[in-house]
Amino acid sequence: MQNNRGASINKNRDAWVEINLSNLENNVLKVKEYILKHCPDKDNPPDIFAVIKADGYGHGSIMCAPTLIACGVKEFGVASIDEGIELRENKIQNPVLVLGASPLWAFENAIKHNIAVSVFNEEHLSTAQQLYKRLGKKLKAHIKLDTGMNRIGLTCDNANEFVKKVLSADYIDLKGIFTHFADVENKKLFSSQITKFKNIVDCHLSEFKRRNVKVHCLNSPGIFEYPEYCYDMVRLGVTMWGITPYSEDNPNFKDMLPVMGLKGRITNIHTLKKGDGISYGHTYIADKDIKVATIPIGYADGLARKLSGNIKASLNGKTIQQIGRITMDQTMFDVSNVDCAIGDIVTLIGEENKEDNIDSWAKKLDTINYELVCRLKMRLKRIYVR
Ligand SMILES: Cc1ncc(COP(=O)(O)O)c(C=O)c1O
């Protein structure tokens, strides 16, 4: 899978996603500072494992990885072996773990590309054993424990036997053991999950230490709320991208800066006469003559049609209102109050726009910010700035 954004310069379309690498750096360094201050063993802070699955939550994993490595990130997490191979093909040599479940038939490729997979059942072990016999190479793996997310992983009842078996297997190179929390803001649920995780990990801790098997469980909100459980590594995702993992405002998030912007240049300016409608269905009718600007971004780019008439943007330092239905490739704004010309930049998401951001869009769409950053399509070229 070749997906090198370095080669994709936005030559023929004036619409793009802007990725601010300085803000990415700021966020990782701020999280590192927080961890250093709050982790249990200050002389031995945990490694940072950056979660760059789904093309770095839409930000571009290959283009962001060098900045992350420069900030001290040690390992990477992806969703599939293909995503891992993409990192390897782009010369990223750090340890990579596939956080999701990988198909047995693809384990051989994980070995070939030096990618660790999550293991949690007998089939995983027997496949690794067969591959070892055939290739003479060990599968790199992290044991995935299911402590209550109930998605994938080994249920805790028979986990000790499984851990012992993996520790004694000569065909697996065990690199880690981990779990994932279903809702860090729910204290009762967190406490139940961490207790189950701790009970199992504690039984094997000295062996894990001796063999440098990394214990890890915290994601973004976990790092802030429960740094006492940093163990050897923390898995940092959404926070490094500058979008909040919290459902409400939270002071822990205050130093983070948004990494993703969404911008397009005006392609057309015209007058909409009083009484005329605009876009499909004429859902907006002008109550006076207004000046309208069109930008070449639409729902095919991931700008949800449901946001029609309900977002604001920034143009030449002024706020503008989106009007009429968002169409597949184009969207219109009332720019009556702005001195503007074709080619001027409309900022839908970005520091210039104080009225809307990924979080406000998520609220309007009754979804989460995680989904929206992943939704912006590859068709919008990513432009990297500092
Ligand atoms: C297993 C696992 N660990 C860590 C993360 C990172 O979570 P967050 O983005 O909340 O930091 C994810 C994200 O979905 C995940 O699936």
Active site residues: 53, 280
* Ligand 1 centroid from CA 99, angstroms: 9
Give residue-wise pLDDT tens across range 168-187: 999 999 999 999 999 999 99
Average pLDDT over residues 196-200: 98
Share of the chain above pLDDT 70, in %: 97
Residue among 51, 118, 185, 374 to mutate when testing ligand 1 (max atoms within 8 A of CB): 51
Give pLDDT, residue 7: 43
Locate CATH 2.40.37.10 in the chain: 260-385
CATH of 260-385, one of 1.10.1760.20, 3.90.550.10, 2.40.37.10, 3.40.630.10: 2.40.37.10
Whether the pLDDT of residue 137 is over 50: the answer is: yes
Apex 225 CA angle, 221 and 231, nearest 5: 90
| Segments of the chain assigned to CATH 3.20.20.10 | 21-241
Scan for tokens 């370095």, then name that residue. 6
Q: What is the model's pLDDT at position 10? A: 55
Average pLDDT, the chain: 96
The pLDDT value given to residue 247? 82
Q: What is the pLDDT of residues 114-136, one digit of tens each?
A: 999 999 999 999 999 999 999 99
Q: Would the CB of 159 count as within 6 Å of ligand 1?
A: no
pTM for the full predicted model: 0.95
Does residue 220's CB lie within 6 angstroms of at least one atom of ligand 1? Answer: yes
Specify burial of residue 142 (Cβ count, 10 A radius: 0-12, 13-18, 19+). buried
Assess whether the C-beta atom of 245 lies below 6 angstroms from ligand 1: yes
**CATH code for the structural domain at 21-241:** 3.20.20.10
User: How do residues 201-247 score in pLDDT, each as one tens digit?
Assistant: 999 999 999 999 999 999 999 999 999 999 999 999 999 999 999 88
**DSSP of 35-72, one letter per residue?**
HHHHSS-TTSPPEEEEE-HHHHHTT-HHHHHHHHHHTT
Reported as a single tens digit per residue, the pLDDT across 18-73 is 999 999 999 999 999 999 999 999 999 999 999 999 999 999 999 999 999 999 99
Residue 264, phi then psi, degrees to nearest 5 = -155, 155
- pLDDT for position 6: 46
* Angstrom distance (rounded) from CA 386 to CA 384: 7
pLDDT at 1 > cutoff 60:
no
Q: What is the pLDDT of residue 370?
A: 96
